[in-house]
Amino acid sequence: MAGYRKLSRTSAQRKALLRSQVTSLLYRGKIVTTEAKAKEVSKIAEKMIALAIREKDNFETVKVTAKVARKDANGKRVKQEVDGKKVTVYDEVEKTIKKDAPSRLHARRQMLAYLYPVTEVPKDGKGRKKKTKEIDLPAKLFDEIAPKYMNRNGGYTRIVKIGPRQGDGAMEVLLELV
């Protein structure tokens, strides 16, 4: 017996489908799909969440000084003339950053290897291209999802049957994070 469902697709199509659905599930919290796909997506998502729980607190905070460009009221960089050239003025700022332990870094890279990048687009139509931002899904897994399921031993997803789909009669389900 096979270890996974083939979902009537070639391996590349199947992997892309599962990657996109797992990414969507972890970003949004729930998705509507067919029962067979949901069972496969659930397996992968549970492994990702278990990995995040295992490495949740495996980091240290470090203070570093960084050079940051000084900006004016409009948000543009302040320029200063030095020896006839315009040079950007920098200020030194102390920042606190999280430094991952090697095992957490490895877990983060495993997640990034599987999950697709997610860009969030603003709701209003103005400045759609400029104001888009990249969502760090591994950080969301470590900081938001893992603490929620810390005291739970598996079973991080739930499948709720909705009913047969109108077009082909396939059983549709709601797959959500518990």
Lowest-pLDDT choice from 4-13, 30-39, 118-127, 158-167: 118-127
C-alpha 147/C-alpha 157 separation (Å) is 15
* Average pLDDT score, the chain: 93
C-alpha 166/C-alpha 171 separation (Å) is 10
pLDDT computed for residue 75 by the predictor: 84
pTM for the whole structure: 0.84
36 exposure class (CB count in 10 Å sphere: 0-12, 13-18, 19+): middle
Q: Residue 151 pairs with which residues in a beta bridge?
A: none
Whose CA is closest to 49, among 116, 146, 117? Answer: 146
C-alpha 27/C-alpha 117 separation (Å) is 10
Q: What CATH topology corresponds to 11-57+102-177?
A: 50s Ribosomal Protein L17; Chain: A, (3.90.1030)
* Torsion-angle region of 84 (φ positive above 0: left; ψ -120 to 50: alpha; else: beta): left
Each residue's pLDDT tens digit, 81-122:
888 889 999 999 999 999 999 999 999 999 999 999 999 887
Each residue's pLDDT tens digit, 45-91:
999 999 999 999 999 999 999 999 999 888 889 998 888 889 999 99
What ranges do the domains of the chain cover? Answer: 11-57+102-177, 59-100
pLDDT computed for residue 18 by the predictor: 97
pLDDT computed for residue 126 by the predictor: 65
Q: Please report which helix (H) or strand (E) contains residue 37, including its range.
A: helix 35-54
